[in-house]
Every structure is written in structure tokens, then in C-alpha cells.
Amino acid sequence: MQRIARFMCDHNNSEKMSLLDQYNSLLALLEPHLTERTFSILAIPRLINDNQYIGWYTLLEGQAVLLSEICNQSQKSKIEKTLQDRINDIEAVVKSMPITAEQQGFISSWLPRIKSLGNPIYVINDEPVIINNFEDPILPPAPPPVIPPKPFWRWWHFLLLALLLLGLFGLLWYLFCPYEKQKPAAQVAEPAITQPVEEKKPEPVVEPRKEEVEPVVKSTSEPTSEPTSKPTVVAPKSCIAREEIVSNSDAPKMVMIFDNSASMMFTLMESQAAINKFLNTDDLMSPEEAEAYIKRMTRLPNRLSSSKKVALASIDKIQANVDIALVTLSSCPVAQTTPFYSYDNRSKLKNKINRLKPLDNNSATPLYSGIKQASKMLDGVNRDDYILVISDGQDNCTKANICSLASKIATQQPRLKINIVDIAGKHKIDCVANKTGGKVYVAQSPAQIVAQMNSAVSSMNISKPLCE
């Protein structure tokens, strides 16, 4: 643990000393429920030098620099986004923590202080760390309220009133205008009946009207052909015709990268802190105690069972003209790939996913190899292609820089998007999604896995149903 900064401690300021005690209580409440990476944004205060100073410490290693002193705007924006992501993760975890209402209120009262713009932010290897100044929180200004425009229907009152006035004016004109009175008088007085009888003889005037009806019939037949042609154009926009499955060679393709390492067997019913404790436990337990401990930490629902269940459901939502391949991360040095499965063969893909089981020995996560192979299977230049990564960690087979690989993919295949479903919330490979225009979806419970997997698939815009 290294010290980032130190500040003079004013023991006469009882309010700040009380806030220091509260802050330590806050850290004790949050630490068991947050991932190590998320918790790292909160610096840890310690009284040092005979309690004359407050030293601020972190588990991160490296040179600490103030965020305000970073001149590179793109780097600064990236760090600010990382900071906001970590704060969002804290807020999401707080809502699901099994704590009392009093503890919930206590944590909620501290969230504005964590987000305060007045807090000094230090950066260690692009990782932000917040030092709380125990001052009143300075929050970003709220956006101005959006005043909704008055609905157009309110003006209809005036339109209706105008129409009524026009109708009333027309009625008065009809009743009292002298020209209108002369016309009915002329119609009533019809002394010569023989004249209209003679005028009725030339009835050929009616015949041209009959001839005019014929073109009307022809014209009505012509528009009828137009609506029949329109549905054929509109239909593909909302659904996929079965003919397109065979004929559309420009349809997107998708590769699903599935983490099949041993860490995916951890239960979703325990926090990351409990899992870390399990991984670092000693061997002083009896065989019976160790077996019971393992069963508890791998009980259902676990990461693998929930991910497989949601992945199978997600495959059904992907439109029929998208072929899907599978890349599995099971052991070093490379990932395993499958051919692309068409719509009619998706049952084989589902069976492949359903049979996934981590190896008993040499289990690992060759994530770098998996993403590299998946990108080679796709075009990403002349058409939109997609990769969906479902994993709980980072590559442990190679030291190659996965962020550099993502930058290379983004340059050479600009239409290839990579979405990531982060099961453990460690944010180890966020750069892969950020550099390729994709998104990261953190899921640490069965409900979150369902929601985030659905979001990851729907954001790809490849969920049109099959036309009936």
C-alpha cells in the first residue's frame, strides 16, 4: 500500500474529525461488496506522524499524478469516463447490498461527497483515485428543465371556434342575402313546362359521363398494383424473409466468445470479496471442510450456468440471416473455434454451448487469442460484423497487450463492433469495447446477466424476427 498524499489534521475541527470516522465506516461497509478495481477509486485515510497528518493510501502501484495536471485531453477524458463508470458501479452495488435501512441511508448520504467536484483526483497508471476533502459536496449543475411545448391540440379550440363562426356566417348569408332569395323565386315559378321537356331530349350529355367512368375504373386498377408492390419493399425492414437467409451474402456475421475457464464456476450468490478470500485461503482445513467450502463457493446459480442459459435464449433473438460461430476460452495457449452455424443449424450451436464445462486441469482464459481469431473469421470492412465476449476476467495465457490488438482491429476492420458482458465487474478489458465502438455491460447477479446480455445483443441491431 502506497501513500498518495498527506494533509494537516485539524483536531479542533470536530465536524471534520467526525466525517473522517464516518468515512472509515463507509469503507468498511463497501469493501466486502465491491470488486477490487471498483474499490480502488476510494483512497484510504490513516492518521500519521503522531496524528498530526492524514495520509491517503491506495493499493494501486505507480506514480500518482493529479488529474487536473494531465494535459492530454483524450487521456483525461478517458480517465474521467473510467471514474464515472466506477461511481456508477458503486451506486448499482449499493442498491443490491443486503444491509439495513439505516446503513442504506448512511451510504446514500455519502454518495454526493464521493461524487463532489471539489475532491482532489489522483491518477495512477490511468486509474483514478478519489481523496475526500470532507467539505460540503460540489455537484455538477443540474441541466435546465426542459419545458415541454404546448400540445398542438390546445389550438383546436380556436380552430373549432373559427369553423363555427364561418358556418354561422354562411347560414346568415344564405337566409338574408337578397341574391339568394331571387334564386329560389325563379325556381318556383316554372310556367313553361314544355321547355324543360324539350331540353331533356338531348341525353347524349349523360353518355360522355359514362365514358368518363371507364378511365376511372382503369385508374383505380393502377393504384391497386402499387400497394401490392409496397409491402415487398417495407417487409424486410421489420422482418427477415426466408429467401434472404439463402440469397443475402452481405448479411452480418457474429462470433460469440465464451469463457469456459474454471473461474466461471464461482457462484453468483457470493460477493467478489468472498471469492477473493476463498482464492487466498490456506490449506489448514480438513478434507471435509475444504470440500464443503468448495461446494458453497460453486453452488448454483454460478457464472457459467447463468451465462449459458442466457446465451441460449439470446441466440433465438438473433435474426435468421446472421450466421453465428463460437470461440471457447478453456486453456492455454490458444482458444478453440467452430465453423459458422446457419439459422437451420443453430440447434447444433446450442448443444455445443450447453456441453461447455471447464477442464479439471490447466484451465485458463486465452482471451487475446480468442479475440484475435474471432476478428480473422469476420469481414468488418464491407459489412457490419459483431463479436460478443462473455467473460469474468482477463487473459492469463500471454502478456501481449490486448488494448493494442483492439486498436489494430478498429483500424483494419472499422465495421467490426465488440460488445463485452463482464461477469465479475473487473473492467479488465474495457478498452476492447471502447476502441471498436462497442459497449461494456457489467453483470454480477442472475438478474443482471439476463438484462445485460439482452442489452448487449439488442444494441447490435440484429434482432429482426423471421417473416411469417
Q: What pLDDT digit, counting tens, does each position of 250-270 carry?
A: 789 999 999 999 989 999 888
Q: Would you place residue 155 in the very low, low, confident or very high pLDDT band (cuts 50, 70, 90)?
A: low
> In this structure, is residue 148 part of a structural domain?
no
> In this structure, is residue 378 part of a structural domain?
yes
Residue where a domain stops, chosen among 86, 101, 130: 130
Q: Would you place residue 393 in the very low, low, confident or very high pLDDT band (cuts 50, 70, 90)?
A: confident
Positions of E strands within 261-378? 323-329, 336-337
Residue where a domain stops, chosen among 97, 130, 163: 130
DSSP 60: -
Amino acid 431: pLDDT: 93
Residue where a domain stops, chosen among 130, 147, 172: 130
Q: How big is the CA angle at 441 (ends 439 and 446), to the nearest 5 degrees?
A: 160
> In this structure, is residue 385 part of a structural domain?
yes
> In this structure, is residue 311 part of a structural domain?
yes
Q: Check whether the bond before 333 is cis (ω within 30° of 0).
A: yes
Amino acid 150: pLDDT: 56
> In this structure, is residue 257 part of a structural domain?
yes
Q: Are 126 and 258 in a shared domain? A: no
DSSP 298: T
Looking at the structure of the chain, the number of domains it has is 2
Q: Where does residue 289 rank: exposed (0-12), middle (13-18), buried (19+ CB within 10 A)?
A: exposed
User: With contact defined as beta carbons under 8 Å apart, do 48 and 54 qualify?
Assistant: yes
Query: Is the pLDDT score of 176 beyond 80?
Result: no
Q: Cα 109 vs. chain centroid, distance in angstroms?
A: 28
Q: Would you place residue 152 in the very low, low, confident or very high pLDDT band (cuts 50, 70, 90)?
A: low
Q: Are 124 and 251 in a shared domain? A: no
Question: In CATH, what number is assigned to the domain containing residue 247?
Answer: 3.40.50.410
What mean pLDDT do residues 13-28 have? 87
> In this structure, is residue 179 part of a structural domain?
no
Amino acid 21: pLDDT: 86
Its domain, for residue 123, covers 2-130
Is the pLDDT higher at 228 or at 388?
388
Q: Are 251 and 395 in a shared domain? A: yes
Q: Are 118 and 249 in a shared domain? A: no
Query: Is the pLDDT score of 243 beyond 90?
Result: no
> In this structure, is residue 350 part of a structural domain?
yes
Pairing verdict, β 385-391 and 253-259: parallel
> In this structure, is residue 28 part of a structural domain?
yes
Q: What is the DSSP string of 175-234?
A: HH-HHHHHHHHHHH----SHHHHHHHS-GGGHHHHHHHHHHHHHHHHHHHHHHHHHHHHH
